[in-house]
Structure 1
Amino acid sequence: MDPRPPNRPGRPDTRTSSPEEKEQARAVSLRRIGALFAPHRGPLSVVVATIVASSIVGMASPFLLREVIDVALPQRDVALLAWLAGGMVAVAAVTAALGVAQTWISTRIGQEVMHGLRTGVFGHLQRQSLAFFTRTRTGEVQSRITNDIGGMQSVVTNTATSVASNLTTTVATLVAMLALSWQLTLVSLVVLPPAILLTRRVARTRRAITAAQQRELADLNVTVEESLSVDGVALSKTLGSGPELTRRFTDSSSRLIGLELRSQLAGRWTMAVTQVVFAAVPAVIYLAAGLPFAAGTMSIGTLVAFTALQGGLFRPVTGLLSVGVQIVASLALFARIFEYLDLTVDVVEPEHPVAVDHDRVRGHVRLEGVTFAYPGSDAAAVAGIDLDVPAGTTLALVGETGSGKTTLAGLVARLHDPTAGRVTIDGVDLRDMAAADLTRIVGVVGQDTYLMHATVRENLRHARPDATDAEIEAAARAAQVHDLITGLPDGYDTVVGSRGHRFSGGEKQRIAIARTLLRDPKVLVLDEATSALDTRTERAVQAAFDALAHGRTTITIAHRLSTVRDADRIAVVDHGRIVESGSHDELLADAGRYAALATV
């Protein structure tokens, strides 16, 4: 199931203010929430049928009770009394069995809806460009998937069945009450209109508090994510900022206590008064039945049966009012989730991708009139770029920090789409190529190598899940890291630790090279992959890179010009434009920008 609606433009404000969130909550359509249950119409129909049957069967109890009091006991009819008592037990047994079936089906429906929301949000976020994640606070995304969707669980799981159950019970009870006494029924219903009005006020209050709670939970999640990661802990220990981070966390947690108290107590006095009024109605009925003008108008059995029904009426009515409060309060949560589902996908998968025969891919890369500006920026990061990288050749991009080199590398890997112009491989525009095909053709190794908290083997196999152990070891040998891995306590089954902190920078780079080799890409992008390494480690990693680049089209970004002097072509990037291009010797002879960089 995919609950995503059609994409609409919009970016999330990671620090949404309270008025904005209130407006979002109002804008959430109950019809859209109801659409989440549309794929489950069949099971929902079974649940509703079960609820109706349970309500109808349950309505027999007051009438059985009336017969016991008015007929069986006064007449000492033991046989009738036995039948009536057996009927009461049978009613209880049938309603209990129906209740178990209803709970199982409704819980399964709710969990499947939750599963659809979680996977829908996760899958949609996977399609977002890097720009989204660079402008979103660490931990914010995780908070929405876990806290927000988790907060909706009770509403999603129980709301539909609770509404159906309480509504059916209410209707059935009213019918039975009218059958016993329409006059007493009118007395019982007098308290409903003010109760409904008061409940709506409580719902509005809780909605605002719920929005504030989720923002505070997101802040708490961000603090945990940023402070308790390996890098965050190392930073706090070297800066001595641990006490300040603890204070921040404590303050945020304290605010959550206050918000939870406000949420639980919101309208509590109002609801308490309503319950007292509901409880007072039977007393009023008994009083009315005992007044002289009402004497003899109804039997004791009818009076007892009616008050039993009346008590049973207020329970589902109160349940309906409570569900209404939960739904309105949860609108803030739905608004935050739908906000992510409505995000525009900047890098869109083509509807009809070009068929790619990977055995025939050569890896000829061209950038034709490419211009790109990051979202929200008026200035182009790169402009009017024309580059031709024939298959099997090496292009080096050099220039000062911020000149646009990494942006060009990102365009070749289709981490972004150009604002103007196009990027092609073997003449095929990357926008016409399926993402799965592109990731097989283009491999990227960056300066910051990310390793998952898993074994070395699992980290390598992440690049190609179907790779055999022999292929994994062959890739590690080619990357000159096999001996290192086999020397670990558990070899390839050694857990690398969070973000690979078990390994040095050079070791992580060689593991990343082995991971890329497993995919066997025709085009290789090396983004300053050795800039953070010492000279000795750089030589070892560079040797692994040479093995990796053999027979592939390679685009290298480097600060150290010594690593790119043997490139077939060097392009100098300055302020988003190519200002020089040629071989190392040609550019030195021109005594231009490259020569100036070489002397630094």
Structure 2
Amino acid sequence: MPARETWAVLYGHIRPHRWVIALAAVFTLIGAATGLAQPLAAKALVDRLGDDESIAGMLVLLTLLVVLGTVIEALGAYLLERTAESVVLAARRRLVGRLLRLRVPEVERTQPGDLMSRVTSDTTLLRSVATESLVGAVTGALTLVATIVLMGLMEPVLLLVTLGVMALIGGATGLVMPRIARASKAAQEAVGAISTVLERSFGAFRTIKASGAEAREQAVVDAAARDAWRHGVQAAKWRALAWSSVGFAVQVSFLAVLGVGGARVASGATDVGTLIAFLLFLFYLIDPVSRLVEAVSQYQVGAAAVARISEAERLATEPVGTRPAGAPEPEAALGPGAAAAPESEAAAAPGAGPAATPDGAGPKPAATGGDAPDLPEAPATVTFEAVTFRYRDDLPYVHHGVDFHLPSGGLTAFVGPSGAGKTTVFGLIERFYEATGGRVLVDGRCVREWPLEALRASIGYVEQDAPVLSGTLRDNLLFAHPHATDAALRAVLARTRLDALVDRLPEGLETVVGHRGSKLSGGERQRVAIARALLRRPRLLLLDEATSQLDAVNEMALRDTVAEAARETTVLVVAHRLSTVTLADRIVVLDAGRVRAVGTHEELVAADPLYGELAAAQLLATAPPAAS
């Protein structure tokens, strides 16, 4: 990343705090000024000693300068530290907000562990470069200039000796800085690799144990950790060299000044007080030079962090708060039937109908405001028009011109061989992916024209693996509709047969379900996911193999629940079980990315050979064993 762009990004982070940083810089400069006054006071003290004058006043002045400088610099340091923490907080909030809105394909192309590393470790590195490095560079440079001016006014010959020595050593130090930058960036990338490996391991923890792969996974983490250690040591080595060069330059300068200055005192060209003051100034140079070296070193490390953060911020995100031209401004909020979507967003879809009551007891009139039309609450329609799709340009097409129309309400099942593109249909409806060609319409309107929040607020979605988040059971059930009433929650628990589970759990709905729902069975996790979707009272319900892990009793109960939901909303299911398919009002048979046939179970058994084979295989798989 070019230095100009890096500084532009850094300024964007510190801009809200620029006045506080400026105040801290002023305090630092005042502290530096008190330090510069100390050698002059020391010279005056030595001169008074030579003239047999009282030194009490000068001692008091020196003491005041030391105390005042310490207090002011401490206040400036506190302001910088506090501002640095604020910069990190703002950077993390901004980055997390962006990462959570990434497009699904971007997340699938990126390692989650590396993204987490950018939020945690990379933003931490902004602390120094965004405040201490900037202020250190400014104050260090000003203090260095002031010190050199005073030294030049006091003894120009000795100043030339000092600058000559420091220039030689400073040039060598400058060659080290690019190495620090390269090693720091490599170390940060290695830390991201550690996070990626650990995220993978904990995501498949039981599989690792069942496979006896703990040692192999540890070896992978060890390799990543050793890589981070190696690059970190390299960066530390070059930083140590840069730091030690400062002390070395001062020490060599001291010896040179002492030799040349002693000769000048002996020749009468200067006096002892001037030589002592000059030597004090020389040691005082350590502070501004150290600040400059530290600032440049921190910049090298911070620039690598800024580059990684900027890379994450350039990842494509979904639109937020978009509204089609001409859509009315929001004037009222929806009820639980549309998950609190803004009225103007939901109103954009045609087909207004009765709204659900908060407790799920029955319909109520849709809220309106001003001249806005009634909000759509009727079950949604779904249409695919010659839809083609592939996940990436270098991958084959998943859909090859998919066409179908699903009317409002009822249950539609999608069946077909693995890889036929069934789950992809749901991803295109939710706009997790954009169709490569053709159109996907909900309520007769292309999903690209829908405000994204309004579209998803109308949809309930249960994924294949039915994810359950860490937290309590209540947290998970209310995740998609946090303002649902207790009455609605109890009703959904009964419909999904989770009420018995809640009664059995030690803390009921407040029971912590563990990482990814580890304290629940597979079937319980599926029922929680279904209950979460039903509680939202969506206009369109997408169930992707939602009953695959249920036992026969609970599957029958959920079949009734799905059938009941299909009377109130449009339900789409991806199913392999014949028991689910036979309930459908219509079945869409997909094969190799195309719609092969659409019809009822009886029609397709008679008319479509592929569906007949799938149905026959399911009948054989689910048939009871013959009596021996």
Normalised TM-score (structure 1)? 0.89
Q: Which runs of structure 2 are paired with 1:122-521 in the superposition (5 Å)?
A: 122-229=96-203, 232-266=204-238, 268-269=240-241, 272=244, 275-291=247-263, 295-345=267-317, 347-349=318-320, 351-353=322-324, 354=327, 355=344, 356-357=346-347, 359=366, 360-361=375-376, 362=378, 363-521=380-538
> How far 1:308 sits from its partner (Å)?
0.8
Deviation, structure 1 residue 597:
2.1
Report deviation, 1:551: 0.3
Structure 2 residue matching 1:581: 3-state secondary structure:
strand
CA RMSD in angstroms, aligned pairs only = 2.4
Q: Following TM superposition, by how much is the alpha carbon of 1:566 offset from its aligned partner in structure 2, in angstroms?
A: 2.6
Q: CA deviation at 1:293?
A: 8.0
Q: Judging changes above 3 Å, is the alpha-carbon distance between structure 1 residues 378 and 220 closer, same or farther for their aligned structure 2 residues?
A: closer
CA distance in 2, matches of 1:586, 1:204: 72
Task: Please tell me whether the aligned partners of residues 62 and 309 of structure 1 are also in contact (alpha carbons under 8 angstroms).
Answer: yes
Structure 2: how far apart are the matches of 1:45 and 1:286?
38
Check conservation: 1:28, 1:331, Cα contact below 8 A.
no
Comparing 444-453 with 251-260, greater Cα deviation is found at 251-260
Cα-to-partner distance string for 1:471-504 (whole Å, 9 max, x where unaligned): 4333322322122112211111111111112112
Q: Which residue of 2 aligns with 1:560?
A: 577
Contact 1:392 1:553 in 2 (8 A): yes
Provide the C-alpha distance between the structure 2 equivalents of 1:220 and 1:27, rounded to a whole number of angstroms: 31
| Residue in structure 1 matching 2:50, options 59, 69, 74 | 74
Do the aligned partners of 1:478 and 1:548 also contact (CA within 8 Å) in 2?
Answer: no
- CA 1:495 to 1:417, structure 2 compared with 1: closer, same or farther past 3 Å? same
Q: Deviations over 1:264-305 (max 9, x none)?
A: 223645653553232121222222222268632323222211
Amino acid in the other structure paired with 2:25 = V
Once the two structures are overlaid, the 10-residue window that deviates more, 273-282 or 166-175, is 273-282
Per the TM alignment, residue 374 of structure 1 is displaced from its structure 2 partner at its CA by 0.9
Which residue identity is paired with 1:352?
Answer: R
Report the residue type matching 1:124 in the other structure: R
Unaligned runs of 5+ residues in structure 1 are 1-23
Shift of 1:557: 0.9
Corresponding position: 1:588 with 2:605: yes
8 A contact 2:243–2:293 mirrored in 1: no
97-106 vs 463-472, which deviates more?
463-472
Say which is worse superposed, 468-477 or 550-559, in terms of deviation. 468-477
Work out whether 1:570 is the aligned partner of 2:622: no
CA distance in 2, matches of 1:378, 1:264: 44
**Structure 2 segments unaligned to the other structure (5+ residues):** 328-343, 348-354, 356-365, 367-374, 618-628
Residues 1:423 and 1:211: Cα distance change in structure 2 (over 3 Å): same
- Counting only pairs closer than 5 Å after superposition, residues 59-138 of structure 1 correspond to structure 2 as 59-71=36-48, 73-78=49-54, 81-138=55-112
The residue type paired with residue 230 of structure 2 is G
Structure 1 consecutive aligned stretches of length 4 or more whose deviation exceeds 6 Å: none
Would the aligned equivalents of 2:468 and 2:516 in 1 still touch at CA under 8 Å? yes
Distance 1:103 1:549 in 2: 64
Secondary structure, aligned partner of 1:401: coil
Report deviation, 1:413. 1.4
Matched, 1:54 2:28: no
Question: Corresponding residue for 1:13?
Answer: none
Check conservation: 2:118, 2:192, Cα contact below 8 A.
Answer: yes
Is the 1:479–1:548 Cα contact (8 Å) retained in structure 2? Answer: no
Q: Is the contact between residue 513 and residue 548 of structure 1 (CA under 8 Å) also seen in structure 2? A: no
User: Contact 1:210/1:332 (CA < 8 Å) preserved in 2?
Assistant: yes
**Cα distance, 1:102–1:53 mapped onto 2, change above 3 Å:** same
* Alignment correspondent of 1:20: none
Q: If the length of structure 2 is used for normalisation, what is the TM-score?
A: 0.85
Specify the SS of the correspondent of 1:252: helix
Give a deviation string over 1:240-261, Cα, whole Å, max 9, x none: 1122222333343334333333
How far off its partner does 1:37 sit? Answer: 1.8
Amino acid at match of 1:115: L
- When residues 181 and 145 of structure 1 are mapped into structure 2, their CA distance, relative to the original with a 3 A threshold, is same
Aligned-pair distance for 1:106?
A: 1.6
- Among the aligned pairs, what percent are the same residue? 29
After TM superposition, give the deviation of residue 25 of structure 1 in Å.
7.5
Partner of 2:18: 41
Moved more, 30-39 or 402-411: 30-39
| Larger RCO (CA within 8 A; separation ≥ 6) | 1
Contact in 2 for aligned 1:396/1:557 (Cα 8 Å): yes
CA contact (8 A) 2:470 2:514 kept: yes
Change (3 A) 1:203 1:269: closer
Instruction: Output the CA distance in 2 between the equivalents of 1:194 and 1:28.
Output: 31
Once residues 478 and 56 of structure 2 are traced to their aligned partners in structure 1, the CA distance between those partners, rounded to angstroms, is 71
Residue 478 of structure 1 contacts residue 547 of structure 1 at CA under 8 Å; is this kept in 2? no
**Preserved contact between residue 207 and residue 331 of structure 1 (Cα < 8 Å):** yes
> C-alpha offsets along residues 114-149 of structure 1, whole Å, 9 cap, x if unaligned?
223222222222222222222333522222222332
Matched letter for residue 421 of structure 1: G
Q: 1:124 to 1:375 in 2, by over 3 A?
A: farther
Answer yes or no: is the 8 Å Cα contact 1:139–1:221 preserved in 2: yes
Counterpart-to-counterpart distance in 1, 2:193 and 2:550: 35
Instruction: Describe the shift of the 1:474–1:25 C-alpha distance in structure 2 as closer, same or farther (beyond 3 A).
Output: farther
Deviations 1:217-240 (A, max 9, x none): 2232223222234xx331122211
**Alpha-carbon contact 1:443-1:516 (below 8 Å) kept:** yes
- Distance change >3 Å, CA 471–CA 96, structure 1 → 2: farther
- C-alpha distance in 1 between matches for 2:9 and 2:591: 49
Residues 1:428 and 1:84: Cα distance change in structure 2 (over 3 Å): farther
Partners of 1:162 and 1:180 lie apart in 2 by 26
What is the alpha-carbon distance in structure 1 between the residues aligned to residue 320 and residue 508 of structure 2? 39
The alignment partner of 1:387 has SS state of strand
Q: Secondary structure at the match of 1:191?
A: helix
Q: What residue is the counterpart of 1:11 in the other structure?
A: none
Q: CA, structure 1 residues 233+131, in 2 after alignment: closer, same or farther (shift >3 Å)?
A: same
Secondary structure, in 3 states, of the residue corresponding to 2:175?
A: helix
